[in-house]
A and B are shown apart, each in its own frame.
Chain A
Amino acid sequence: MELSCKEAVPMIGAYVDGELSESRAALLRKHLLECNLCRNATQDGKSIKRWFAPARAELQLSAAGDFSIPSGFASRVARRAFAGDTGDRGGSEEFVLRPVARPFEGRTIKYLVAVTAIAAGIAIVLALAVRLSLRPASGKLSADDRTVMPMATILSELEQLNALEGPARVLVPDPDAAGQ
Chain B
Amino acid sequence: MQAVPKEDLSLVAETLAGNQLSFQLLVERYQTRMFALVRHYTRNPVEVEDIVQDTFLKAYTRLPGFQQQSSFYTWLCRIAINTSLDFLKRCGRSPVRGVEDPEIGLTAESIDDARPTTSPAPAPDARMEQREIARITKEVLEQIPEIFRTVLVLREFEDMAYQDIADVLGISIGTVESRLFRARARFKDKLLALYPEFGDGRS
Chain A positions near chain B (C-beta within 8 angstroms): 5-6, 8-14, 17, 19, 35, 37-38, 40-41, 43-45, 47-52, 54-59, 63, 66, 68-70, 73-82, 85-89, 91-92, 94-98, 100, 169, 171-175, 177-179
User: Which residue on chain A has the smallest CB distance to residue B56?
Assistant: A77
Q: Does B144 have its Cβ within 8 Å of any Cβ on chain A?
A: no
CB within 8 A of A173: which of B65, B82, B125, B157? Answer: B125
Known A-B contacts A6-B111, A40-B118; the reply to A81 vs B60 at CB < 8 A is yes
- B residues near A95, Cβ cutoff 8 Å: 82, 85-86, 89
Interface of A is mostly: helix
B133 contacts A54, CB within 8 Å?
yes
Known: A13-B184, A77-B27, A87-B53. A55 touches B126 (CB 8 A): no
8 A–B pairs (Cβ distance < 8 Å), ordered by A: A10-B177, A10-B181, A35-B116, A48-B187, A81-B23, A89-B90, A171-B202, A175-B124
Query: Which A residues touch B20, using CB under 8 A?
Result: 78-79, 81-82
- Which residues of the other chain, A, contact B57 by a CB distance below 8 angstroms? 77, 80-81, 85-87
Judge whether A97 and B177 touch: CB under 8 Å.
no
CB-contacts of B70-96 with A (<8 A): 78-79, 82-83, 85-87, 89-90
B6 within 8 A of A: no
